[in-house]
Amino acid sequence: MSQTTIAIPPSVTEDEAKLYLAMKLFEVGRLSCGQAAELAGYFKRTFMELLGKHGVAVMDYPSTELQDDLRNA
User: Using alpha carbons only, how large is the chain's radius of gyration in Å?
Assistant: 15
Q: What is d(CA 51, CA 73) in angstroms, rounded to the nearest whole number? A: 29
For 27-53, the pLDDT digits (tens) are: 999 999 999 999 999 999 999 999 999
Q: Does residue 36 contact residue 58 with C-beta atoms inside 8 Å?
A: no
Closest CA to 33 of 12, 17, 49: 49
Please determine, for residue 62, whether its predicted confidence score (pLDDT) is greater than 80: no
pLDDT band at 68; cut points 50, 70, 90 = confident
Mean pLDDT of 3-32: 95
